[in-house]
Amino acid sequence: MNKKERVAFVINSLNKLYPEVPIPLNHQDPYTLLIAVLLSAQSTDVRVNKITPVLFEKADNPYDMVKLSVEQIREIIKPVGLSPMKSKGIYGLSKILIEQHNGEVPQDFEALEALPSVGHKTASVVMSQAFGVPAFPVDTHIHRLMYRWNFSNGKSVVQTEKDAKRLFPKELWNKLHLQIIWYGREFSPARGWDLEKDIITKTIGRKLVLDKYRQKKSPNKRTL
């Protein structure tokens, strides 16, 4: 298969597996999504989804959030990790939303990325999942699979995002990035990976990746 055919194979395979794709982080609106995505940095969606109901019961909007102290926010979000930085970020961005954006989350990459603790990936998730603006946020699953599928060199998430946007049609980005995440979790994880179940990588995977996998599974077989 040439690259165009491999891209089509990925899209078709993912559409069969995930015709409807849920957003992994529980939220009610752009603000709660923004907070959930911020909390998910170097944590898991499962862990974040356990903490956000507790946090949002006290404050699910910027006006209520700034009534809490940074320390109170930190105590609630401790289980997701990096709580000192994240609590300051949540308080700080809530204050800015009130002062500069009438308490609303801006529908603008530049304005989002200007908020404390909000990087390009977080902004991309919010633009894509809250506002429907085409974006391709790259998480660890997408970064890993784009390399395994020989679509990107794995050097950086910035490069992976560029390659994904170049390869896949823009109108598919918002659904496709979620489909890849779910596929990575279910069939192509970093640990405990079973190539036999990972039909996409097995079919179009990078030769180096496939050879390494098979060598690990059969360490006594030497290639002549």
**Can you give the C-alpha Rg of the chain in angstroms?**
20
Q: Which residues contact 151 (CB under 8 A, 6 or more apart)?
A: 3, 6, 7, 163, 164, 167
Residue from 45, 86, 121, 198 carrying the catalytic annotation: 121
Residue from 88, 139, 162, 163 carrying the catalytic annotation: 139
Distance CA 13, CA 16 (A): 5
* 108 assigned to active site: no
Joined together, the tokens standing for residue 104 give 């609303």
* 45 assigned to active site: no
Catalytic residues: 121, 139
